[in-house]
């Protein structure tokens, strides 16, 4: 009996240790899972070899699926956008530890509003000044470049609510919006420069049919997020892997850089939750613009809400000042 109990205990311990060394790596759905899986596979294989952890890619139909998976510990770390990173930090126990960079040396990327070259739409003003005229390919609600950035710079600053402005609206990832635009299934759509660059290589003929109507200000590169409750040893190994990956002059480093280039990435840099502060400000600016444009709310209520936003903005400004 004792030997059976001992054997069962050892088996349970081995299973627990094995599970503790598994890493489910979340990948936000900026494009098809097949393309993302192919591009990330060599990097995750290198991570497995260098850290000793068993690493599995985790995909979901939308950004929220990755956030929820982290919340319930089905994902231990993930590549996210800044908006989804905020959500992961605020409600899924996430923590930013690194940031991507770009192979061409760029400091970030841009949102794009696109149309088909044969759509008859010549410029962004034509879209903004003709409500209920066009069918829209919206971005994922948790996407920085698909929703947050255009939501402020393209829509809020022009007093427009994209949910009511268009004749119809369908949400998709950046790649599916490119495909829908090329197929004339939507009149205009949101995508970003990162995915469009890959689309131009994979779907060169379709890419030639795309006309860019609007380009956002620069969006800082994406965060890498892990669960804050990972052990110190696991964090050290994972951070060591990412911050050394593709660095140096060795043949191995060159091979790693080639893997990153498939994602349009350069090396990873150290980061923290402070990376998200400008995007928190952007959310508040968007809310502020919406409030100011609301002519149905009574003045006292509006002033109270605006004061709350100003207080939060001041707190974020203080955080940025302390980080310098």
Question: Strand 223-227 and strand 94-99: pairing?
Answer: antiparallel
- Which stretches of the chain are assigned E, i.e. beta strand? 22-27, 54-59, 77-79, 94-99, 108-109, 111-116, 135-138, 168-171, 188-192, 210-215, 219-220, 223-227, 269-270
Share of the chain residues as helix, strand and coil, in percent rounded to the nearest 5: 55, 20, 30
Show the domains of the chain with their CATH numbers: 2-106+221-273 (3.40.190.10), 108-219 (3.40.190.10), 277-323 (1.20.58)
pTM of the model: 0.86
pLDDT in tens, the chain (324 residues): 444 444 444 444 333 333 447 999 999 999 999 999 999 999 999 999 999 999 999 999 999 999 999 999 999 999 999 999 999 999 999 999 999 999 988 889 999 999 999 999 999 999 999 999 999 999 999 999 999 999 999 999 898 999 999 999 999 999 999 999 999 999 999 999 999 999 999 999 999 999 999 999 999 999 999 999 999 999 999 999 999 999 999 999 999 999 999 999 999 999 999 999 999 999 999 889 888 888 899 999 999 999 999 999 899 888 877 765
Using CA atoms, how far apart are residues 307 and 247, in angstroms rounded to an integer?
Answer: 47
């Amino acid at each position: 009996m004792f030997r059976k109990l001992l054997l069962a205990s050892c088996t349970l311990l081995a299973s627990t240790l094995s599970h503790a060394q598994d890493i489910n790596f979340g990948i936000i759905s900026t494009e098809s899972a097949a393309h993302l899986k192919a591009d990330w596979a060599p990097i995750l294989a290198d991570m497995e070899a260098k850290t000793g952890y068993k690493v599995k890619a985790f995909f979901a139909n939308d950004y929220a699926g990755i956030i929820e998976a982290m919340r319930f510990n089905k994902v231990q770390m993930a590549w996210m956008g800044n908006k989804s990173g905020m959500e992961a930090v605020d409600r899924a126990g996430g923590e930013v530890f690194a940031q991507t960079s770009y192979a061409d040396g760029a400091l970030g990327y841009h949102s794009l509003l696109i149309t088909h070259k044969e759509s008859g739409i010549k410029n962004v003003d034509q879209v903004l000044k003709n409500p209920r005229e066009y069918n829209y390919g919206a971005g994922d609600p948790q996407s920085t470049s698909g929703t947050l950035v255009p939501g402020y710079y393209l829509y809020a600053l022009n007093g427009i609510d994209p949910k009511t402005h268009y004749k119809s609206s369908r949400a998709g990832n950046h790649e599916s919006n490119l495909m829908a635009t090329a197929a004339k299934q939507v009149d205009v759509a949101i995508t970003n420069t990162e995915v469009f660059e890959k689309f131009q290589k994979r779907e060169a003929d379709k890419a030639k049919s795309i006309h860019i109507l609007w380009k956002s200000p620069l969006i800082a590169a994406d965060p890498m997020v892990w669960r804050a409750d990972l052990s110190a040893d696991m964090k050290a190994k994972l951070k060591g892997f990412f911050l050394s990956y593709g660095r140096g002059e060795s043949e191995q480093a060159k091979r790693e850089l080639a893997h990153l280039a498939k994602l349009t990435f350069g090396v990873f840099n150290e980061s923290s939750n402070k990376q998200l502060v400008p995007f928190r400000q952007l959310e508040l600016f968007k809310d502020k613009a919406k409030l100011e444009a609301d002519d149905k709310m009574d003045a006292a209520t509006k002033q109270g809400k605006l004061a709350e936003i100003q207080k939060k903005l001041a707190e974020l400004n203080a955080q940025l000042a302390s980080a310098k």
